[in-house]
Amino acid sequence: MSDEIHALEANETWSVEDLSSGKTAIGCMWVYNIKRKSDSSVELNKARLVFLGNRQEEGINYTETFAPTVKMVTVRTFLIVTTIRKWEIHQMDVHNAFLHKDLSEEVYMRMPPGFSRGVKGKVCRLRKSLYGIRQAPRCWYAKLSQALQTYGFIISISDNSLFTYHKYGVHIHLLVYVDDLIIAGNDSTSILAFNKYLSSFFKMKDLGVLKYFVGIEVARSSAGMFICQSNMHW
């Protein structure tokens, strides 16, 4: 929890202010999760501060919402194409993905439970999106797609979660699922250069060769690719 608060403050997610007249401060809560590896062993215990977005009012503290959800047919097609072309598939994780985009709306949040730090009568005015806020997925997707299109990627017209790059004989395909990025291409040097570019915008973690994605376990060999969902956790 302390690590989460430090990350949020370092990202300048909010500023501590008095509540503006006529405005309402919305609460927040802590959500705990166990992140597991493909073999079901524990990889990480996580604590996340979540804004109570179910109490937001349209037109007052949010306007548009959009949450890109990759189609399973896109995932299968992506894996088929990369397998046929014998491309290596890497997985990248974006740390605190939803916290990168500035908010245009005026949104106030109560002090995080357990971290009021003796500040009475103050609230947090959100300067950047936070998990749980209704416009957070839209803000994150806007920030990511802008960075990708600046680099030269094109958004697929059939699935907004699929981006492709084709220049000077280099082909890179990228699939987005919330804060997980799946990257594959025909030139490892170009992919490394692209990963370095992304890391200049976002705090990235290289998870290595793809093994687990959207509940699908992936195993690859010279014979091809095997996928299954036997280790799904609900």
pLDDT in tens, 89-133: 888 888 766 665 677 778 899 999 888 766 677 899 988 878 878
- Over range 35-58, report the average pLDDT: 80
For 18, the 3-state DSSP assignment is: coil
The Cβ of residue 102 has, within 10 Å, a number of other Cβ atoms equal to 11
Percent of the chain with pLDDT over 70: 88
CA angle 181, 182, 185 (to 5 degrees): 130
Taking 50 as the threshold, does the pLDDT of residue 22 lie above it?
Answer: yes
| 178's tokens | 């919330």
Distances (CA, A) of 27 to 7, 12, 54, 101, 123: 19, 19, 10, 21, 10
b/e code 137-153 from CB counts within 10 Å (16+ = b): bbbbbebbbebbeebeb
Mean pLDDT, residues 22-40 taken together: 84
**Poorest-pLDDT segment among 76-80, 150-154, 176-180:** 176-180
Q: Which residues are CB-neighbours of 183 under 8 A, at least 6 positions away? A: 89, 90, 91, 92, 172, 173, 174, 175, 191, 194, 195
Interval 192-210: pLDDT, tens: 999 899 888 888 888 888 8
Q: What are phi and psi of 41, to 5 degrees?
A: -75, 155
* CA–CA dist 234, 228 (Å, integer): 16
Short-list 229, 182, 191, 172, CA closest to 210: 182
What is the per-residue burial (b if ≥16 Cβ within 10 Å, else e) of 50-60?
A: ebebeebeeee
**Cβ-contact 50, 126 below 8 angstroms:** no
Question: Parallel, antiparallel, or unpaired for β 180-185 and 89-94?
Answer: antiparallel
